[in-house]
Structure 1
Amino acid sequence: MVKKGFPSFGITQCGTFVAALKNYNLPDFVLTLVAKDCNSDLLERGRIDDRLSSMNDAALELLHKVFVDCEEDEAGKYAQYRFFAYVSSMYHKCEVVVNETIPGKSKKNHKIPIAVLHNGMYIAVGFNKPNGHAVSKKDLKKFYDVVNDVKNGEHGTQLVDAIFGSSSGFKGEALVELEKLSKMREADPENKLNFKTANFENRIYSVTKC
């Protein structure tokens, strides 16, 4: 029996969203971020379908737009959620933090959109360009400089991966520049860093190691 005043299609639609979303690898921290954005409840533990079912309509609809329909929004938040989930999927049993402030060797505090820790040490950092023009040479040079500063600081000794994601593509000269900067490090094995670009197109990320 359907409760009075509660449309039956609402139940069906939410059930459909849960059925679709439970097949996706949705990291806990992304569910938490979406729940917070949508003022939704979220079961702390349990099966993924139970946790999804505990979320409100707005949160489920947002998750469906982001991960199933791969929609974009003007603010670039949808693309950011996808990038966070993508980075997280590469590092199992690691701690993932977002909007982390990490000091570099220069003593400057760098705000890192997503960072991965293993045994309390940073092993990967990620930046993302969710919208706007294609990633430029200037964008990747700044990315390299920030990562290099973090790597050379006391918190970056275990840092091995640096990923730059984009939903707007990359300019050819930008990729050439990052590859050139990356190759300059190869002479020093202790200072090695894997620079990767991840281009989101046709619903998937294509990764290139520079």
Structure 2
Amino acid sequence: MVNKGFPSFGMSQAGSYIAALRNYNLPDFILKKIAKECDSNLLERGRLDDRLQSMNDTALVMLHKIFIDCESDTAGKFADFRFYAYVASMYHKCDILINESIPGASGKNHKVPVAVKNNGMYIAVAFNKSTGTPVQKREALKFYNIVDDVKKGDHGTMLTDAIFGTSVGFKGDSLVELEKLSKSRKTDAENRLEIKTANFENRIYSVTKCS
């Protein structure tokens, strides 16, 4: 498939973008989301090079801004895409589900930004704060309460990881709270859950276990 948009963009420019992007582990669902966002074609399968070449200029520019330049947009969408790809890189050969509705033990359905499934079972959930102020203590508590409710529900029996990501940092008391709550679970083998924070800074995610 030939990208009809290349002449206006310039083959050398497109080639340099593709050369840079091919070094990244770009999940299929990310490529599909960007293609849809940019009204672009996308080869269903094949080598990453070929799939990137099938995309239009707008899609290539957006991918470059997100993953190479690590830019941010006001809506926080770029940061969310980076976070989705990061979570996917941690769980190879698992299903990554975006904005998944998962019922908790309370009976409430929780909208989970990223859920990871393996063999049909949820094994991880992840939340991300991409804009605004650093993560506050109340936000950390809300995250924990959702995760705890999901873990105790019928769908959370195999849940082992809960990740709170941010591109705007954490306030000190929010980290202290998550660490305290995480430690409180250590004695409960049945409800054991690894709580992690992922802070995006200087173009990389640094992950810390809250234990």
TM-score (norm 2): 0.95
SS of 1:63's partner is: helix
- Give the match for residue 181 of structure 2: 181
How far the C-alpha of 1:111 sits from its partner, in A, is 0.4
- Give the match for residue 57 of structure 1: 57
How far the C-alpha of 1:167 sits from its partner, in A, is 0.3
CA distance in 2, matches of 1:6, 1:82: 25
CA deviation profile, 1:168-207 (whole Å, cap 9, x unmatched): 0000100000011111111111110000000000000011
1:1-210 aligned at under 5 Å gives the runs 7=7, 10-210=10-210
Q: Which amino acid in structure 2 is aligned with residue 147 of structure 1? A: V
SS of 1:155's partner is: helix
> Does the aligned pair in 1 maintain the 2:141–2:177 contact within 8 Å?
yes
- Unaligned segments of structure 1, at least 5 residues: none
How far the C-alpha of 1:49 sits from its partner, in A, is 0.3
CA deviation profile, 1:103-133 (whole Å, cap 9, x unmatched): 1011101000011000000000000000110
CA distance in 2, matches of 1:96, 1:9: 32
- Unaligned segments of structure 2, at least 5 residues: none
SS of 1:117's partner is: strand
Identity of aligned residues (%): 67
Distance 1:62 1:8, change over 3 A: closer
CA distance in 2, matches of 1:189, 1:23: 40
How far the C-alpha of 1:99 sits from its partner, in A, is 0.6
CA distance in 1, matches of 2:178, 2:9: 50
Distance 1:9 1:111, change over 3 A: closer
Distance 1:183 1:7, change over 3 A: same
Q: Which amino acid in structure 1 is aligned with residue 47 of structure 2? A: R
> Does the aligned pair in 1 maintain the 2:6–2:57 contact within 8 Å?
no
SS of 1:67's partner is: helix
> Does the aligned pair in 1 maintain the 2:130–2:168 contact within 8 Å?
yes
Q: CA RMSD in A?
A: 1.3
SS of 2:156's partner is: coil
SS of 1:169's partner is: coil
